[in-house]
């Protein structure tokens, strides 16, 4: 065992460890092994088995299909991630997500924890996204220079703005009242026939378009709160698209203009609200995470707007769902890990981070 520590009731004080992360909350089955020594990180493996190809034909994730896919992929993913290594701790996504998908990863994690008699910790998927930028480097020390921070999580299921006072200390400032940002990208892609997942397709199409050719609305941009709403924007895109279809103008150029205009509206709203939150809370930094953080235009725009505050965002390979970020969040929550955790940990579809 590479860790040293003492067991105190349910508390484990572990400093060095190999930690196995397991993620199965949506349509990616993932397992990862991190080795942490004196707060320095080494990513030994990060296996991501995506079902995106399977769900493409339905135009979105089908929960039953996803759960079956996880059941098939979970053991091969873990076996590949571990190789001949044995972890000291296991971290598993226990919330939020598709309940039957979460359960596959959770049961695998519980079984290994019980069989190997090693501590287990349940991780909130959103906490994984929030700190996924830490995977870019090797230094895991989260000093006072980062906090308070603003966290912006933009994924297929969530759009949340958080005040982050430290690891584990969050308060929710605002969230979407309807569609998540990624969901809006997916729906627009479906409407325009660009395929699934929609985010990458829309952003590729937007590259050739003019962001100001169509003046799409910026919902709730001036509201006094930090909430978001993207469903009206999606409706506006739909109406515009139908109008164009009527007049027979569905050229590649006009689709690119729609994508660019839609993307600019999403980026604008996210940027204005994040900057407002950062100013109001005198944030020293901003953490960005979630699948939509793969969007280069969003990252560039946010980085510019937030200056001189640093924007921390994950490398592209850690923007989507992956188990390395879950193992990392497990490390941040290591004091909650216990050998008995397998008895009580349950999957929760809708658990909030703050």
DSSP 65-116: HHHHHHHHHHHHHHHHHHTT---SEEEEEEESS-HHHHHHHHHHHHHHHHHH
x/- site string to ligand KG4, residues 190 to 229, per CB under 6 A?
Answer: -------xxxx--x--------------------------
The residue from 321, 322, 327, 347 that contacts Zn ion (CB under 5 A) is 321
Nearest Cα residue to 94 out of 68, 123, 63, 73: 123
DSSP H helices, 166-215, are: 181-192, 198-206
Residues 6+ apart with CB under 8 A from 215: 261
* Residue 203 binds: one of Zn ion, ligand KG4, none (C-beta under 5 to 8 A by kind): ligand KG4
Among 23, 127, 257, 321, binds ligand KG4 (CB under 6 A): 321
Q: Which pairs count as long-range contacts for 186-190, CB under 8 Å and 24+ apart, including other chains?
A: 186/60, 186/156, 187/234, 188/234, 188/237, 188/258, 188/259, 188/262, 190/59, 190/60
Nearer Cβ to ligand KG4 (160/186): 186
200 binds, among Zn ion, ligand KG4, none (CB under 5 to 8 A by kind): ligand KG4
Asked whether the beta carbons of 192 and 183 are under 8 A apart, the reply is: no
| Residue 28 or 88 having the CB closest to ligand KG4 | 28
Reduce the DSSP state of residue 234 to 3 states and report it.
helix
Stretch that binds ligand KG4, among 83-91, 183-191, 243-251, 303-311 (CB under 6 A): 183-191
The Cα 16–Cα 28 span in angstroms is 28
Residue 128 is a binding residue for ligand KG4 (CB under 6 A): no
Measured between alpha carbons, how far is 266 from 208 in angstroms, rounded to an integer? 17
Whole-angstrom distance, CA of residue 44 vs CA of residue 85: 10
Q: 154-173 mask for ligand KG4 (x: CB under 6 A)? A: -xxx----------------
Answer yes or no whether residue 119 interacts with ligand KG4 by CB under 6 A: no
Q: Which residue, 69 or 291, has its beta carbon nearer to ligand KG4?
A: 291
Q: How far is the CB of 173 from ligand KG4 (least distance, A)?
A: 19
Task: Please choose which of Zn ion, ligand KG4, none residue 295 contacts, taking the beta carbon within 5 to 8 angstroms, the exact cut-off set by kind.
Answer: ligand KG4
Pairing label, strands 17-23, 28-37: antiparallel
Nearer to ligand KG4, 3 or 103 (CB): 103
Please state, in angstroms and rounded to a whole number, the distance separating the CA atoms of residues 302 and 181.
Answer: 15
- 292 lines the binding site for ligand KG4 (CB under 6 A): yes
Question: For residue 343, how many C-alpha atoms fall within 13 Å in the half-sphere facing its CB?
Answer: 5
Chain positions 138 to 167 lying near Zn ion, rule: CB under 5 A, are 155
Stretch that binds ligand KG4, among 4-12, 83-91, 149-157, 215-223 (CB under 6 A): 149-157
Enter the DSSP assignment of 333: T
Distance of closest approach, residue 198 Cβ to ligand KG4, in angstroms: 5
- Residues in the site for ligand KG4, rule: CB under 6 A? 26, 155-157, 182-183, 185-186, 197-200, 203, 290-292, 294-295, 320-321
Give the residues lining the site for Zn ion (CB under 5 A).
Answer: 155, 321
């Amino acid at each position: 065992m590479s860790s040293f520590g003492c067991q105190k009731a349910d508390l484990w004080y572990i400093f060095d460890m190999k930690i196995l992360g397991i993620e199965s909350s949506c349509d990616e089955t993932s397992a990862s092994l991190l080795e942490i020594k004196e707060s320095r990180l080494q990513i030994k493996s990060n296996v991501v088995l995506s079902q995106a190809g399977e769900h493409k034909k339905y135009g979105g994730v089908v929960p039953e299909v996803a759960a079956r896919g996880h059941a098939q992929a979970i053991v091969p993913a873990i076996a590949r991630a571990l190789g001949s290594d044995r972890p000291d701790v296991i971290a598993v996504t226990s919330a939020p997500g598709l309940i039957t998908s979460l359960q596959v990863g959770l049961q695998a994690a519980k079984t290994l924890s019980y069989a190997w008699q090693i501590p287990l910790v349940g991780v909130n998927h959103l906490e994984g996204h929030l700190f996924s930028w830490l995977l870019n480097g090797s230094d895991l020390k989260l000093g006072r220079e980062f906090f308070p921070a603003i966290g912006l999580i933009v994924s297929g299921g969530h759009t949340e703005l958080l005040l982050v006072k430290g690891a584990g200390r969050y308060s929710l400032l605002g969230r979407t009242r309807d569609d998540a940002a990624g969901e809006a990208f997916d729906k627009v892609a479906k409407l325009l026939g660009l395929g699934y997942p929609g985010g990458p397709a829309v952003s590729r199409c937007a590259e050739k378009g003019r962001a100001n050719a169509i003046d799409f609305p910026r919902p709730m941009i001036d509201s006094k709160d930090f909430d978001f709403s993207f469903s009206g924007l999606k409706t506006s895109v739909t109406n515009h698209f139908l109008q164009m279809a009527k007049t027979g103008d569905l050229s590649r150029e006009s689709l690119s203009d729609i994508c660019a205009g839609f993307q600019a509206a999403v980026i604008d709203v996210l940027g204005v609200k994040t900057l407002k939150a950062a100013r109001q809370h005198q944030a020293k930094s901003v953490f960005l995470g979630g699948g939509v953080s793969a969007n280069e235009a969003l990252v560039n725009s946010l980085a510019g707007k937030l200056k001189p505050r640093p924007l921390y965002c994950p490398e592209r390979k850690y923007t989507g769902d992956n188990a390395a970020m879950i193992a990392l969040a497990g490390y941040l929550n290591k004091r909650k890990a216990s050998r008995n955790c397998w008895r009580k940990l349950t999957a929760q579809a809708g658990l909030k981070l703050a």
